Amino acid sequence: MSSLELQKAIVARLKADAGVTAIVGQRIYDSVPTNATFPYIAIGPDQTLPSRADCYDGSVVVFQVDGWSRAVGLVEAKRISEAVREALSDAPLTLTGYRLIDLAFEESRVFRESDVLTSHAAISFRALTEPVN
C-alpha cells in the first residue's frame, strides 16, 4: 500500500528536519497520546486514487499533515505549517516497494478550534507513486 509507505517516509523526514524539530521536537504522531504536549504534528487523513495508463499502474495519494498549537494567537501554527511545507515539498522520499514520482504542496489552512485555545494548521500535499517492478 503506497499510502502506508508514504506515511512512514513522511514521518521519518519530518523527524529529521531541523526546521520542524525546532518547533515540535520529535512530537510527530500517527495516534496522538491522550495528554500530548503542545505543539505537535499529527498525520491526518489521506486518500489514494488510481492513476492508470497504458503499461502504467500508479497511484495519487492526497494527504494531510496537521499541526497543533496552544500558543497565543496563530503564529506558532503558521510556523509549523511553513516548516512542514518546506520539509516535504519536492522531498526525495524513499518508499519501500514504490517509487515516488512527484510530491507537491497543495494548500495550508490555519484556524482556531472551537475551544478557542487551540490553533490548527492543516497542510495538504499530493503525491504520485508507482510500484517498483
What's the predicted TM-score (pTM) here? 0.92
Please report how many Cα atoms fall inside a 13 Å half-sphere around the Cα of residue 25, on the Cβ side: 7
Task: Classify residue 96 by its DSSP letter.
Answer: T
DSSP reduced 3-state for 69: strand
Question: Residues in the chain, how many?
Answer: 133
C-alpha span between 29 and 37 (Å, rounded): 11
How high is the pLDDT of residue 47? 95
Top-level CATH class of 2-131?
Answer: alpha beta
**Residues contacting 130, CB < 8 A, separation 6+:** 56, 57, 58, 59, 98, 99, 101
How high is the pLDDT of residue 53? 65
How high is the pLDDT of residue 51? 74
Domain ranges (residues) in the chain: 2-131
Those residues of the chain that have pLDDT short of 70 are 1, 52-56
How high is the pLDDT of residue 50? 79
How high is the pLDDT of residue 90? 84
